[in-house]
Amino acid sequence: MSTPQGYVDVRDSWYYILHPRPAYIIVAEANGKTNFMAASWVMPLSEEPPRIVVALDKESYTAKLIVDSGVFSVNVYTVNERDFVYSAGTISGKDTDKLSLLGAKVSKNPATGIPRIERPRPIGVIESRVYKIYGDVAEDVYLVVGDVVAAYADEKLFNERFGWDLRNTKILLHAAGRGFTTNSYVYVARKLI
Ligand SMILES: Cc1cc2nc3c(=O)[nH]c(=O)nc-3n(C[C@H](O)[C@H](O)[C@H](O)COP(=O)(O)O)c2cc1C
């Protein structure tokens, strides 16, 4: 038995130990088709060069559009958009028009040509061009590594020094299943040494 006393074995949902984590919307467009999906398994990879990684189900339609177009964006939302993000993460655009179904609008940044969501308005966007897609690190997901091409955040909610103003910004975090949460009190860490 590898589970110490006082703990429960959560091997089947081990990744939820690493939640809550932000739930984003990934947008892609190729061959005249536009689509988006929810994604929480997203993280910054490096500052130099600026790179981001996203773990995307090989079966998702959005992943296919990213493979075909080589670009995508990561759109950040507050907890107010939980229904939109949950629905974007539970239906596939493979055989439905998710945009009209959810009343969303996607537009391309004229400067980069990369699609991002216009409605519902994200509070932050990272636009990315694919650097490499690894298809052999897992059976079910592509590890998509992207170069950050543009990044912008709501001027009222973000500043370069502190990042999100967490007193006024309730970032959407996914706990598990239909459960979402957000940031609460702001704790400022003291240096121990
Ligand atoms: C909150 C939330 C987070 C999700 N995170 C991811 C993720 O990080 N990677 C992934 O491949 N799928 C993730 N999903 C599932 C996809 O969003 C889902 O499979 C979606 O229907 C794919 O849509 P598409 O086929 O239209 O691209 C998540 C779903 C939800 C609700």
Cβ neighbors of 114 (< 8 A, separation 6 or more) are 71, 72, 73, 108, 127, 128, 129, 149, 150
**Of 60, 91, 98, 180, best ligand 1 pocket probe by most atoms within 8 Å of the beta carbon:** 60
Cα-Cα-Cα-Cα dihedral sign, residues 15, 16, 19, 22: positive
- Residue whose CA is closest, atom 17 of ligand 1? 89
- Nearest ligand 1 atom to alpha carbon 41: 8
Distance CA 170, CA 82 (A): 11
> In the numeric block, which tokens belong to residue 31?
């061959």
List the domain boundaries for the chain: 13-181
> What pLDDT score does 168 carry?
96
Distance CA 175, CA 13 (A): 12
- Express as a percent the part of the chain with pLDDT over 70: 99
| Domain boundaries 13-181, corresponding CATH code | 2.30.110.10
3-state secondary structure (DSSP) of residue 18? helix
> What pLDDT score does 1 carry?
65
pTM of this prediction?
Answer: 0.97
If you measure from the C-alpha of residue 161 to the centroid of ligand 1, how many angstroms do you get, rounded to a whole number?
31
Whether the per-residue pLDDT at 130 is higher than 90: the answer is yes
Model pLDDT for residues 29-59, shown as the tens digit of each residue: 999 999 999 999 999 999 999 999 999 999 9
**Of 13, 19, 34, 40, best ligand 1 pocket probe by most atoms within 8 Å of the beta carbon:** 40
Model pLDDT for residues 63-79, shown as the tens digit of each residue: 999 999 999 999 999 99
Ligand 1 proximal residues by C-beta, below 6 Å: 23, 35, 37-41, 55-57, 60-62, 85-86, 89-94, 98, 174
- Residue whose CA is closest, atom 5 of ligand 1? 39
> What pLDDT score does 184 carry?
95
If you measure from the C-alpha of residue 2 to the centroid of ligand 1, how many angstroms do you get, rounded to a whole number?
31
Total Cβ atoms within 10 A of residue 179? 13
The H or E element containing residue 117 is strand 115-119
> What pLDDT score does 87 carry?
98
> What pLDDT score does 191 carry?
97
> What pLDDT score does 122 carry?
98
Nearest 5°: phi and psi at 150?
-150, 150
Model pLDDT for residues 152-162, shown as the tens digit of each residue: 999 999 999 99
Distance CA 179, CA 173 (A): 9
> In the numeric block, which tokens belong to residue 139?
């059976």
> In the numeric block, which tokens belong to residue 79?
């907890």
Cβ neighbors of 100 (< 8 A, separation 6 or more) are none
Across the chain, what does the average pLDDT equal? 97
> What pLDDT score does 61 carry?
98
Whether the per-residue pLDDT at 148 is higher than 70: the answer is yes
